[in-house]
Amino acid sequence: MGTHMSRRATTTAVTLTMAGALGFGAMAPTAYGAGQGPCYDGRCEITVSKPTTIKVDSRKFGFGKLKVTHISSRAVKFSASSGGASLSGSTSPGGTVKFNNLKIWVKSASGHKARLALFPTKR
């Protein structure tokens, strides 16, 4: 049992190291299906440095792709669409944007890099 736990700790460390190298920052290792991504369940912290599309569960949030459309030290802009309806919003560092029942917190932004935290809310 000790060897199994050691391997698991090593795998977790490698996962966290790779996530950091890819720009996702420190996050708890989670299992997600192919093509879903680390934010699919609406719970993650991610660092973005260019316009990016973040995949989320469309059944849970009403849209499947959250788009970060602009990043500056003053504001981060977002958009999402589904079935002809579109959502858009922006906030400065420290602020939040809520699309349906997904809240996006801009933890920090500087230059063209933003640290985001996503979390689901009650409707």
Q: What are phi and psi of 23, to 5 degrees?
A: 95, 5
One domain, residues 53 and 105: yes
In the predicted structure, residue 98 carries a pLDDT above the cut 70: yes
Say what the pLDDT of residue 123 is.
66
Helix (H, G, I), strand (E, B) or coil at 50: coil
One domain, residues 50 and 10: no
Total domain count for the chain? 2
One domain, residues 45 and 12: no
- Parent domain of 20: 1-26
In the predicted structure, residue 88 carries a pLDDT above the cut 80: yes
Strand stretches in 10-84, DSSP E = 44-48, 52-55, 65-71, 76-82
One domain, residues 79 and 110: yes
State pTM to two decimals.
0.70
One domain, residues 42 and 60: yes
Give Cβ neighbours of residue 64 (< 8 Å, ≥ 6 apart).
55, 56, 57, 58, 82
One domain, residues 36 and 64: yes
